Amino acid sequence: MGDYIAKSNIEDVFGIDNVAAWSDLTGAGVVDNARVTLAITYAEGIINDSFRFGRYAIPFSPVPVVLADWCAKLAGVWLFFARPLYGKARESAEGFIDVRTMVFEEVNSYTSGRRKFAATKGTEKGVDSPSVV
């Protein structure tokens, strides 16, 4: 589905039933693959933007395991929050906010240079930006 993750990665973190329920805005009881794709696009965009013009080439190659995990978590959190809550919320949003905060703290440990990936290196100007000659 995406450059880094697929629906199955989100399901591995949050469960098949949750991904189906959070993606289904119609109440049909089936997964909405278009919404899952949108969640993946959102999550991968957040991660790419966090590393843009940094020490790594975007898109990442190879994809670090931790980066795929971040994308899966962000996509699942997006699916949870990007839906109407019918009546009384069945789940507590607090845990999802904690997951998102943890992901951003981990990303910061890499963007700050405290931790490093074994991934294709960029340049100081950023290899993912077009060059005008």
**Distance (Å, rounded) from C-alpha 55 to C-alpha 111?**
8
Instruction: Using the predicted structure, report yes or no on whether residue 132 has a pLDDT greater than 80.
Output: no
Nearest to 2, CA basis, from 100, 107, 57, 74: 74
pLDDT in tens, 71-111: 999 999 999 999 886 544 556 777 888 999 999 999 999 99
Per-residue pLDDT, 17 = 94
Distance of CA 66 to the CA centre of its chain: 11
Which one-letter amino acid corresponds to residue 109? S
Average pLDDT score over residue span 109-133: 69
pLDDT tens column, 18-58: 999 999 999 888 999 999 999 999 999 999 999 998 888 89
* Tokens of residue 35, six digits: 């919404």
C-alpha dihedral sign at 21, 27, 33, 35: negative
